[in-house]
Amino acid sequence: MADVLYLLTSPFVWLVLIVLFLYSAVKILREYDRAVVFQLGRFWKVKGPGLILLIPGIQKMVRVSLRTVAMDVPTQDVITRDNVSVKVNAVIYFHVVDPQKAIINVEDFLFATSQLSQTTLRSVLGSAELDELLSEREHINQRLQEILDRQTDVWGVKVSMVEVKHVDLPQEMQRAMAKQAESERERRAKVIHAEGEFQAAQRLAEASHIMSDQPIALQLRYLQTLTEMTSERSTTIVVPLPIDLIKPFLGRAGGGPPEKTPDPGHPGPA
């Protein structure tokens, strides 16, 4: 009995008890942490950040982080609406907006969000065709984000973004798509070539109309062609000279139009 009284009155014992009390009662939370406090098993309030005090044995807390979590969704086997089997993985970004719901309404919100994202990924991508999955990635990401955010709202979790990272196609489908892309490129090349030929033919037709209305233009074009030919390293060039080209010069060299020869059977002027 005397030993018990001695321990109760010992300063060292009281010092140890005070240290233990402070250790269990005083908590320091960082800026991104919140404490969901339970008092005698019932929810009391959300505290933090900073210094908080708890009553040992009566109050307990669960720490919750409000930082954004980047969770990788494991690769899922998906069969698209047009019966193509693909492997798809994604990443989701979410954070807790209501610590009370995140602790009370679900046992493990991280695990629950991960499982929900996997099932939602298979459901949404399974209802889309392969072309939509490859060409409308942004639209599919938006649909995934809206569905996940709506379902995790009761857990106090906000899904801010979902990104489909990689779509793994079968080898047969890759070869078929490569052939399709090659055929499409060939088709575009032929269309562009035909369009060029059509435009060139239009320009030539317009040029022929201009030259038919202006004969001197044809002559100038002929002279330009001769100039281009003489610029080549040729020793002898035989060029046929159209008489129409020199007819205007012949008329000018004679000082006027040539005189008509009188008809012998027609009498001259009196």
Query: Is omega for the bond preceding 49 within 30 degrees of 0, making it cis?
Result: yes
Domain ranges, residue 196: 179-210
Assess if residue 43 is contained within a domain: yes
Q: 176 to each of 173, 182, 184, 265, how far by Cα in Å?
A: 5, 10, 12, 93
User: Quick one: pLDDT at residue 242?
Assistant: 62
The pair of structure tokens assigned to 45 is 């309030």
User: Do 60 and 44 fall within a single domain?
Assistant: yes
Assess if residue 131 is contained within a domain: yes
The pair of structure tokens assigned to 1 is 């009995």
Assess if residue 101 is contained within a domain: yes
User: Do 73 and 54 fall within a single domain?
Assistant: no
Distance, in Å, from the CA atom of 12 to the CA atom of 22, rounded to the nearest integer, reads: 15
User: Do 160 and 148 fall within a single domain?
Assistant: yes
User: Do 34 and 120 fall within a single domain?
Assistant: no
How far does the chain reach from its first CA to its final CA, in angstroms? 181
Number of structural domains, the chain? 3
Distance, in Å, from the CA atom of 99 to the CA atom of 105, rounded to the nearest integer, reads: 10
Assess if residue 48 is contained within a domain: yes
DSSP letter string over the chain?
A: -HHHHHHHT-HHHHHHHHHHHHHHHEEEE-TTEEEEEEETTEEEEEE-SEEEE--TTTEEEEEEE-S-EEEEEEEEEEE-TTS-EEEEEEEEEEEES-HHHHHHT-S-HHHHHHHHHHHHHHHHHHTS-HHHHHH-HHHHHHHHHHHHHHHHGGGTEEEEEEEEEEEE--HHHHHHHHHHHHHHHHHHHHHHHHHHHHHHHHHHHHHHHHHHH-HHHHHHHHHHHHHHHHTS--S-------HHHHHHHHHHHTTSSPPPPPPTTS----
What is the arithmetic mean of pLDDT over 129-139?
86
Assess if residue 28 is contained within a domain: yes
Assess if residue 52 is contained within a domain: yes
Last residue of a domain, one of 65, 81, 111: 65
User: Quick one: pLDDT at residue 113?
Assistant: 94
Q: Which of 30-34, 219-223, 263-267 has maximum average pLDDT?
A: 30-34
User: Do 99 and 57 fall within a single domain?
Assistant: no
User: Quick one: pLDDT at residue 92?
Assistant: 95
| pLDDT surpasses 60 at 260 | no
User: Quick one: pLDDT at residue 230?
Assistant: 66
More confidently predicted of 212 and 123: 123
Please provide the size of the chain in residues.
270
**Tens-place pLDDT, residues 37-65:** 999 989 999 998 999 888 888 899 999 99
User: Do 74 and 58 fall within a single domain?
Assistant: no
Nearest to 163 by CA among 88, 68, 113: 88
Q: Judge whether 118 and 71 are in contact, CB under 8 Å.
A: no
Assess if residue 245 is contained within a domain: no
pTM comes to 0.62
CB under 8 Å to 125, separation ≥6 — which residues?
76, 78, 80, 86, 88, 133, 140, 164
User: Do 164 and 199 fall within a single domain?
Assistant: no
Distance, in Å, from the CA atom of 194 to the CA atom of 257, rounded to the nearest integer, reads: 52
Instruction: Count Cα neighbours of 102 within 13 Å in the Cβ-side half-sphere.
Output: 23
What is the arithmetic mean of pLDDT over 118-125?
92
User: Quick one: pLDDT at residue 270?
Assistant: 39
Assess if residue 27 is contained within a domain: yes
User: Do 156 and 74 fall within a single domain?
Assistant: yes
Domain containing residue 77: CATH number = 3.30.479.30
Instruction: Provide the mean pLDDT of the chain.
Output: 80
Query: Which band of pLDDT confidence, cut at 50, 70 and 90, is reported for residue 196?
Result: confident
Last residue of a domain, one of 10, 36, 65: 65
Query: Which band of pLDDT confidence, cut at 50, 70 and 90, is reported for residue 248?
Result: low
Q: Which of 222-226, 232-236, 250-254 has maximum average pLDDT?
A: 222-226
What is the arithmetic mean of pLDDT over 159-163?
94
Last residue of a domain, one of 112, 138, 169: 169
